[in-house]
A and B are shown apart, each in its own frame.
Chain A
Amino acid sequence: MSAILSVEQVGVRFGGLVAIADLHFDVREGEIVSLIGPNGAGKTTAFNVMTGFLKPSQGEVRFRGTGLTDLQPHEITRLGLARTFQRTSVFPDDTVFDNVMIGLHRQGAQSRRAPLLDALIGRAGASERRLRARAEALLDWVGLSERAGEKAGALAYGEQRLVGVALALATEPAMLLLDEPVSGMNASETQVFVSLIRQIRERGITVLLVEHDMPMVMEVSDRILVLNYGRLIAEGPPDRIRSDPAVIEAYLGQGKAARQAAAEVQEPAHA
């Protein structure tokens, strides 16, 4: 299949710090690809470049053939590339339901030519009802229907991450970037999330995942990219990554937590 996302020789510098150097890879339509690497490797920075929150110092990202360099975040979203954030990110003062309604912003735009005017003369009723039905369906999908009426800021972290996923899905993306979606989730929540990722792919959405939970990454990914100090050091299917000496080295070079992660890399995926 053809590449939906191409990262072409992208480099990012923060002052003297090289956060990403010469990053180059493709993601093909319908794949689930994981981007892993020790803390500070540049994974979030790469996401920020892909979604227009950061301009690369060099190189370019192309999404479905369109160069993203000159586009703003909201324009990139409109092309069909959505993301979640590493830090829990919701609209904290709104209910979970209203969070998703805000996330459905683009869907509202397509229904009419002058939505602002419609709202003023009270003609937006039908499209509002449609949006509310969409919001309910999305909450049902990610398993948050019970929480619909609660303030998003008051939810547990794991649930806030699900709100983030629902918001990203609300934009009807062709590709979804997930930044550490299961951190803050327990083992059973993580398993539910794995099946959610698979459902997302079944609906034709390509997934690029950043995650530290190695068993989960090994289980869900078609392909894994390994980043270390801003450079791609390995790429391949899970079994090859598990035994790749450069990957083990990268994780062993780090602290205790990272060594643990490296040990997990080598373990077979849990069921």
Chain B
Amino acid sequence: MSRLLPLALLTSLVALPLALGSNPYLLNALITTGILTIAAMSLNLLLGFTGQLSLGHIAFFGIGAYVSALTSLGFDVEIGFGTRIVHEPWPAAVGFLLAILAAGACGYLIGRLSFRVRGAYFVIVTVSFAEVVRLVALNWVELTQGPLALTNIPVIALGAPGLGSWTLKTKLQNYYLVLAVGTLCYVIIARLVGSRFGRAMRGLKENESLALSVGINAARTLTVATVISAAMAGAAGSLYAHYLRIIDPDVFQFATTVTIVIMVVAGGKGTLMGPVVGGLIFGLLPVVLRPVMAPEAQWMIYGIVLIAILFVMPKGIVPGIAGLFARLRAARAVPVLEASPAVPR
């Protein structure tokens, strides 16, 4: 089950556009949902597997978006002492890679800074970081256009020298790009979690003194986890920028962080599938709700759905359902044919 379920979901997601036809509204919702789900998966790496809550996770996402947009748009800014930095536009795909690097580098700083300050302090450090970055984006008008937004961001083109290139113009193409990046992130996280590194993260989360006493380096482990998590959030931000083709400092809004935290917690933190399930539910909920109610009311429904889920399944949907299957199986009390346990990976 642990391998089958993700594969079945992937297959359905690959086939989904064939079933939907090219309904642009639905495709758009799926693309933004997919991007937020990648952000949720990246947050889960920290929140679910190391136990650290990054409430400023959107900073990495926004940094990815801005770095990618500026790389592909080019800029010309004065940085004081009469020095100007002029950057000619580079391909958007390079922007995507730089977004990952830049967000990962910021993750390194935050990780180094805050592995000593756990729990509530980590939350405060990440929230402050996000706010600082938002203020920079808002006020460094020469670079970011401030509230006027960066517009006409080029779309991503894939290709290799000599082989020509393939520009991702349509929604359908973007859908598959997001799906591919999401799948890659899922596989990376799955491999990490199942590895020696994943065991180190689990050890630190479950019993830190004991983990230290068997030689696990807390600072290094938490920093590496933060870097990978931030880099993935940056990748999601880059996809966002090149898909929407316009970004403003609102990408840093706190509500987005809340949304991805909800996705992780409702789906089941510390499970691989949790953020995917939570992401799909809470990403697509607006699609269902929008025709029938105002945005403000949608937020209330969001809250009600979250509370309802956590009331029935306190650990989230994926652990809840897995537990249900385990109980059903135990109740049948007959030899079970499947070899694999029902615990979610």
Mark A residues whose CB is within 8 Å of B: 51, 53, 72-74, 77-78, 82-83, 85, 89-94, 98, 101-103, 105-106, 108-109, 115-116, 119-120, 122, 124, 128, 131, 164, 167-168, 170-171
Contacts and interface: CB of A to CB of B under 8 A. Distances in A.
A256 B211 CA distance: 37
B217 A74 contact: yes
Interface stretch (B130-138, B192-200, B298-306, B331-339): B192-200
Contacts of B192: 116, 119-120
Counting contact residues on chain B (CB < 8 A from A), the size range is 20 to 34
A53 B207 CA distance: 14
B182 interface: no
Q: Chain B interface mostly helix, strand, loop or mixed? A: helix
B127 interface: no
A98 B198 CA distance: 11
A91 B207 contact: yes
Contact of A82 (B188, B195, B213, B217): B213
A186 to B, nearest CB: 25
B210 interface: yes
B202 A103 contact: no
Interface string B155-187: 000000000000000000000000000000000
User: Which residue of B195, B203, B214 has the most chain A CB atoms within 10 A of its CB atom?
Assistant: B214
A170 B199 CA distance: 14
A123 to B, nearest CB: 10
B124 interface: no
Contacts, number: 94
Contact of A83 (B196, B203, B213, B216): B213
B2 interface: no
Contacts of A108: 196
A122 B188 CA distance: 10
Contacts of B213: 51, 73-74, 77, 82-83, 85, 167-168
A77 B214 contact: yes
A164 B210 CA distance: 9
Given A91-B202, A91-B207, A122 B191 contact: yes
Q: Chain A interface mostly helix, strand, loop or mixed? A: helix
Contacts of A164: 210
B210 A98 contact: no
Nearest to B212: A73
A102 B215 CA distance: 10
Given A77-B215, A122-B191, A124-B195, A102 B209 contact: no
User: Which residue of B200, B211, B213, B218 has the most chain A CB atoms within 10 A of its CB atom?
Assistant: B213
Please list the 8 inter-chain residue pairs (A to B) with the smallest Cβ-Cβ separation, ordered nearest first: A119-B195, A77-B215, A73-B212, A108-B196, A102-B203, A91-B206, A106-B215, A103-B214
A167 B203 CA distance: 12
B212 A120 contact: no
B321 interface: no
B206 A92 contact: yes
Contact of B214 (A98, A119, A170): A170
B216 A105 contact: yes
B191 A89 contact: no
Contacts of A74: 212-213, 215-218
B278 to A, nearest CB: 21
Nearest to B201: A102
User: Which residue of A94, A98, A102, A108 has the most chain B CB atoms within 10 A of its CB atom?
Assistant: A102
A94 B196 contact: no
A190 to B, nearest CB: 23
Contacts of A51: 213
A77 B200 CA distance: 15
Nearest to A108: B196
B206 A120 contact: no
Contacts of A94: 202, 206
29 contacts: A51-B213, A73-B213, A74-B216, A74-B218, A82-B213, A83-B213, A89-B207, A90-B210, A91-B202, A91-B203, A102-B203, A102-B211, A103-B214, A105-B203, A105-B215, A105-B216, A106-B214, A109-B196, A116-B192, A116-B195, A116-B224, A119-B194, A119-B195, A119-B197, A120-B188, A128-B196, A167-B213, A167-B214, A171-B214
